[in-house]
Every structure is written in structure tokens, then in C-alpha cells.
Structure 1
């Protein structure tokens, strides 16, 4: 989507963006927001099952569109009630919580986070900018009674 806000490339905009761009950092953003390492086995399970964690929904969406296609990550979406659950969950998190999550996943995921560049991104970008970007985005969607569609290609 054009003009998508990428939280680690620019400052938080005054007006909430209509789309967020995670680029190739979906899994890393999920690790940061939940404080858990999500490997390929988890993501395969996720394709087959629907997680109940609103922090997960904040990155990947609450519901699958259609059936499970082979070898393709399914489109997903969140309805206003899902977005409310996301906002309710995230509003109690702080930057300190996110930094604690980041340090934990960096420690337990030594092989995945071996790159100094990725470690720096997690500490300087994800820990400081992910939560405010998600809250701004989802609060605006909730205020406008919108749904959110996730394209994870």
C-alpha cells in the first residue's frame, strides 16, 4: 500500500496513518510485543489455529480471510471488537515492558538475533517506537469504527 507508515523510519505522525508497514519485521515485532520467540513451528500452527492473544492480533490480525491456502500466508483482518481488545491490551503496556520483552527475546533467541544490526534495531527501534505506533493506529481505527486488513506478503 502506498504511503504506509513505517514506524522505525520516521517520527510518529500527528495524524494516525491508515496503514502500517512492517516490511520483513513481522516476526520480530511480534517477538517484541509479546516477549516470546516465535519460530517457524509457531507460525505453521498459527496458520492452522486462531491465537487468542490481542498482542498477536496487533501484528498479524485476529481472523483469517477464507480458507487455508497451500504455501501462502493467508490474508487476515480485525473487526472493531478485535481492535478494542488490542487497544485494551496494549494501553497497559509501557516502553519499559517492551524493552524487557526485547531483552528477553534477544537472550533466548541468540541464533535468530545474532546479527548486531538486528539487535540494534530491536533495542533502538522496536522497543521505543513499536508500541506508540500500534496504539496510535488502532485507536484511530477504533474511533472511526473501521476494520483492519493485514497483508503479510
Structure 2
């Protein structure tokens, strides 16, 4: 049986991507937090954008990407321990603006933003945990 579920990240998708990728970079190089480039080999990047491109003609747009079952496991393993407190050091609206985060204007590092990001992070974790339990791949569609 095929199960189709979605997680709507809304306007926060790029904010979450910035925070997750900043967290990954900081783990690898604590002296330079933040992102200069996206780490396409990072399971936390894959959680939002997908691991592989379906159509190389659309590679720059990230319009249709997917994650295989082993990649979904890696994503779930990477996401599982993360809390908003882990991401808090990267919740800097000014750093987001400097990095060109498209939706940074919606993020003000307020308690409301923290609740929204925490809720989305929880949904992502559940989504990937269920996919691992059911042996499912992920299709990442950008609309």
C-alpha cells in the first residue's frame, strides 16, 4: 500500500534550512558558524531539500528532488536529537539577511517564531520516523 503524506513548511522553509545547515556547519567547524554554501551531502539539508535531483535540467531550482530509503534513515538519524535549543544560536535574523535567506523578513526571533519552528521540527521528525518505519522514499516537491 502506498502512503502519501506531506509536511507543509510554509513560509519558514528557508529559515529552517538556514538553521539546520548552520547547525551542521558548526558541528564540523565551530569557529565559523553560519553557512556560506549549502552542504549538499548533509542529511539536515536533505530533510528540507531532498538528497538527489530527479531532473538535472531543474537542478538550480530544486524543483523535484528525492531521498532513497537509506538516505531517509540518515535524515531521521540526524533530525532525531535536534531541538530548537540546538538551533537557537542560528536564530539570528540579521545573519539570515546577510546570507540572503529569502524569507528572513518573516523571522523576528520571537516566541511565536520559536513555537512555529518547534512545531515544524516536530512534524518533520514524525514524518521521517514514519517513513523509516514504513520503508518509504521521500519526494521533495517545490511549489
Tell me the equivalent position of 2:85.
96
Maintained 8 Å contact 1:54/1:85: yes
Aligned residues: 124
Structure 1, unmatched stretches of 5+, are 1-16
Alignment of 1:2-151 (within 5 A): 18-35=5-22, 36-37=34-35, 42=37, 51-69=40-58, 72-102=61-91, 105-110=92-97, 115=105, 117-119=106-108, 120=110, 122-126=113-117, 128-151=118-141
Structure 1 residues 65-116: Cα deviation after superposition (integer angstroms, max 9, x where no partner)? 02223874430011110011111111222231022332xx32423465774x
Maintained 8 Å contact 2:15/2:104: no
Other structure's SS at 2:122 match: helix
Other structure's SS at 2:58 match: coil
Maintained 8 Å contact 2:58/2:64: no
TM norm structure 2:
0.71
- RMSD over aligned CA atoms reads 2.8
TM norm structure 1:
0.67
Structure 2, unmatched stretches of 5+, are 23-33
